[in-house]
Structure 1
């Protein structure tokens, strides 16, 4: 019996120990790169994080823009590969939790390639047989917006003028009137914004009284075993996938770092509440052990 157990332990160590060493090595390199960024942007400007790096606030938007310009053409493909398609289940549940009624007016911020807006229209058509619902897909990145436009150009939604596209900044929706939308959504986009509090206040402003704010974003995993495996996968595998599929390891390194930097579910729920929204229960629903979460608040 002893001789049967020891080989198993040895095999486990051969697999587990290199993973830990690689994770530690990656963490060291990331902190070293962070110091290099701090030296590069050694100014008196207020600082914020760009992944694990510290950069001036007025630089982050440009850096994030470069990331999404680089990944726009492979964005949907990489999401499918990285999540094994699970992101589609999250988004489908997000839409069903939203449960929009006939004639709903949606503002989808950081709408990117259009997954949420498309799911919104499909739900209204399938559940209510409704073609009066309207959506504005807003994104700060022109290349991401172009991918969304191309996708909708192959559907009837564009022909019926149900969808509109707008280039804009979530932190300052200057072109959007106050009290003008029923639902505001932002999916996997708010963590890339420099001032999350400003995004939330703008969301509150543009919603009608009784309107709903909904955010789908990555969260913090509480289960220690799942958390360890998830972190190893995020830092050791996803950047390599980014290099192999999109020829861009740096952008996907930033994306996994940005997930780590985003507030925990309870802290983000408090930020939503501080922006004026009324939250129900704890304000969020964990998905897949908390890898992602749906946050919701009402303008009452």
Structure 2
């Protein structure tokens, strides 16, 4: 089973639908779940996907060790208790299961330096909190994940900023890719495995 945590309008789970036998998307917003269900009605994958209103901090209704893959794409920064979210994801993953997350990078030079100097707000919600790679790694370790892999990825909020700023962010990303500077890349891509506990 694939679990999409903070699934929003269902975009990512619907894109994965041809590859999964069963998938469930959960989101705290009833409005987003209504949108996801409406999109599902027009999908050939109605039989293997469901969308439910749910809290990522406890994942009620998802059984222990029932999930092969949990994904969280662009939602973690909006979740208040990230430690509880990651602990719940760890609980529902099968041994050998994976958690994959795309999230914003708090070390990004745009967030740390440029946006404050230019007076740009970088939060979508007042409760948003973006993590550094080190903070995220520590939370994964505390949840029980011992094996992780991470890389930087391109995040350029073109719809959220003026064209010239988007151009600046694009240039920063190109420099970051070529110079291998994570602080010039807007996003973090992390994968963590739930391994069997050592005996």
Q: TM range, normalised to the smaller chain?
A: 0.7 to 0.9
Counterpart among 291, 295, 300 of residue 186 in structure 2: 291
Q: Does 1:163 align with 2:77?
A: no
- The question of whether the paired residues in 2 share the 8 Å contact of 1:108 and 1:138 is answered with yes
C-alpha change, 1:118 and 1:226, in structure 2 (3 Å) is same
For residues 106 and 215 of structure 1, what CA distance do their matches in structure 2 show? Answer: 13
Equivalenced residue count is 166
* CA deviation string 1:45-100 (max 9, x = no partner): xxxxxxxxxxxxxxxxxxxxxxxxxxxxxxxxxxxxxxxxxxxxxxxxxxxxxxxx
Counterpart in the other structure of 1:277: 145
Counterpart in the other structure of 1:108: 4
Residue 156 of structure 1 aligns to a residue whose secondary structure is coil
Once the two structures are TM-superposed, the CA of residue 115 in structure 1 deviates from its matched residue by 1.9
| Equivalent residues in 2 for 1:177-216, closer than 5 Å | 177-216=63-102
| Equivalent residues in 2 for 1:25-64, closer than 5 Å | none
For residues 257 and 138 of structure 1, what CA distance do their matches in structure 2 show? Answer: 22
C-alpha change, 1:156 and 1:197, in structure 2 (3 Å) is same
Counterpart in the other structure of 2:22: 134
For residues 30 and 146 of structure 2, what CA distance do their matches in structure 1 show? Answer: 33
Once the two structures are TM-superposed, the CA of residue 255 in structure 1 deviates from its matched residue by 1.2
- The question of whether the paired residues in 1 share the 8 Å contact of 2:80 and 2:127 is answered with no
Once the two structures are TM-superposed, the CA of residue 254 in structure 1 deviates from its matched residue by 4.2
Counterpart in the other structure of 1:14: none
Once the two structures are TM-superposed, the CA of residue 235 in structure 1 deviates from its matched residue by 5.5
* CA deviation string 1:255-274 (max 9, x = no partner): 17656x32201211121121
Gaps of 5+ in 1: 1-104, 125-131, 240-252
More strand by share: 2
For residues 54 and 118 of structure 2, what CA distance do their matches in structure 1 show? Answer: 30
TM-score by length of 2: 0.74
Greater relative contact order (Cα < 8 A, sep 6+): 2
Residue 38 of structure 2 aligns to a residue whose secondary structure is helix
- The question of whether the paired residues in 1 share the 8 Å contact of 2:107 and 2:132 is answered with no
For residues 297 and 235 of structure 1, what CA distance do their matches in structure 2 show? Answer: 36
- The question of whether the paired residues in 1 share the 8 Å contact of 2:152 and 2:189 is answered with yes
Counterpart in the other structure of 1:118: 14
Once the two structures are TM-superposed, the CA of residue 220 in structure 1 deviates from its matched residue by 2.8
Residue 255 of structure 1 aligns to a residue whose secondary structure is coil
Q: Does 1:172 align with 2:58?
A: yes
Counterpart among 143, 162, 168 of residue 31 in structure 2: 143
Once the two structures are TM-superposed, the CA of residue 199 in structure 1 deviates from its matched residue by 0.5
For residues 114 and 235 of structure 1, what CA distance do their matches in structure 2 show? Answer: 33
Residue 107 of structure 1 aligns to a residue whose secondary structure is strand
Once the two structures are TM-superposed, the CA of residue 278 in structure 1 deviates from its matched residue by 2.2
Residue 124 of structure 2 aligns to a residue whose secondary structure is helix
For residues 96 and 36 of structure 2, what CA distance do their matches in structure 1 show? Answer: 29
Residue 143 of structure 1 aligns to a residue whose secondary structure is helix
Residue 262 of structure 1 aligns to a residue whose secondary structure is coil
